[in-house]
Amino acid sequence: MGNQNIIEAGQQYVMNTYGRLPLALMKGQGARVWDADGNEYLDFVAGIAVNALGHNHPALTKAISEQAAELLHVSNLYWIEPQVKLAKLLVENSCCDKVFFANSGAEANEGAIKLARKYAKEHYGEDKFEIITMNKSFHGRTLATLAATGQSKFHQDFKPLPAGFRYVPFNDLTALEEAIGPHTCAVMMEPIQGEGGVYAAEPDYLTKVRQLCNERNLLLIFDEVQSGIGRSGELFAYQLYGVEP
Ligand SMILES: Cc1ncc(COP(=O)(O)O)c(C=O)c1O
């Protein structure tokens, strides 16, 4: 099928939840991709910034093929050696003690939100549940991560959203200080914002956010869905700042 046929069939059978460009991509190699009509493109999008190794990297293709021939899925009811090895690798190269694997960035952030609320409830009681996030942030498309996202254009069709989120301007310590109240349990932010425009936290700001969270007994959550896994030059962007979540 060429571009036109795939697009027409897609419009008939696939839900219209994304604004897509009018081409169907068929294969990739490094930084290049080809569409269904054989046109070649340089891929500056990289799967929305996540294909850090490019397309069809031989080591990645080999690892996925070999694992597919061994086991594709067994659920979390069992221990899985590659999962344990990956968790160890991440722990040994980050400030984290343990890893929670999720299927998407939104799900990882749901996990972080739930963890923060559970921690706050166990340590401080029912009243500490609110999470402060940043204007222009993006944390995902599930209901709670949409609520955490500080961009009203993503909220408008899905209200009422889960309660318990407040938004402050990014890189503004005074606004953050003023927003902290008796219900606040955590601050959640991208060290380098992505979807709302590429805005990096000022180093001094991030250091002071960490200090503020320590002083006020707040958890600090870094969403590194876009800035992590080597894309900033370090494994995680927080390592560039020397400020740990
Ligand atoms: C910073 C950030 N967090 C979360 C997400 C959501 O990730 P996913 O689309 O994998 O759910 C994104 C996606 O662009 C993101 O950039």
pLDDT in tens, the chain (245 residues): 999 999 999 999 999 998 999 999 999 999 999 999 999 999 999 988 888 899 999 999 999 999 999 999 999 999 999 999 999 999 999 999 999 999 999 999 999 999 999 999 999 999 999 999 999 999 999 999 999 999 999 999 999 999 999 999 999 999 999 999 999 999 999 999 999 999 999 999 999 999 999 999 999 999 999 999 999 999 999 999 999 99
| Ligand 1 atom showing the smallest separation from residue 137 Cα | 1
| Ligand 1 atom showing the smallest separation from residue 193 Cα | 1
Q: How far away, in angstroms, is 145 Cα from ligand 1 center? A: 9
SS3 (DSSP) at 29: strand
ipTM of the complex: 0.99
Q: How far away, in angstroms, is 139 Cα from ligand 1 center? A: 6
177 CB neighbour count, 10 Å cutoff: 14
Checking 173-180 for CB contacts under 8 A at 24+ apart, the result is: 173/205, 173/208, 173/209, 173/212, 176/132, 176/209, 176/212, 177/212, 179/132, 180/132, 180/212, 180/216, 180/218
Extents of the domains making up the chain: 3-70, 73-102, 104-241
Phi-psi region of 16 (alpha: psi -120 to 50; beta: other; left: phi over 0): beta
For ligand 1, say whether the CB of 193 is within 6 Å of any of its atoms: no
pLDDT given at position 155: 96
Which DSSP letter does residue 135 get?
Answer: B
For ligand 1, say whether the CB of 110 is within 6 Å of any of its atoms: no
The whole-angstrom separation of Cα 79 and Cα 47 is 30
SS3 (DSSP) at 162: coil
The whole-angstrom separation of Cα 114 and Cα 151 is 21
SS3 (DSSP) at 149: coil
Phi-psi region of 164 (alpha: psi -120 to 50; beta: other; left: phi over 0): left
The CATH code of domain 104-241 reads 3.40.640.10
Architecture of the structural domain at 3-70? Alpha-Beta Complex (3.90)
Q: Residue 75: what are its φ and ψ, rounded to 5°?
A: 75, 170
Q: What residue's CA is closest to ligand 1, atom 14?
A: 195
For ligand 1, say whether the CB of 225 is within 6 Å of any of its atoms: yes
Q: What residue's CA is closest to ligand 1, atom 16?
A: 226
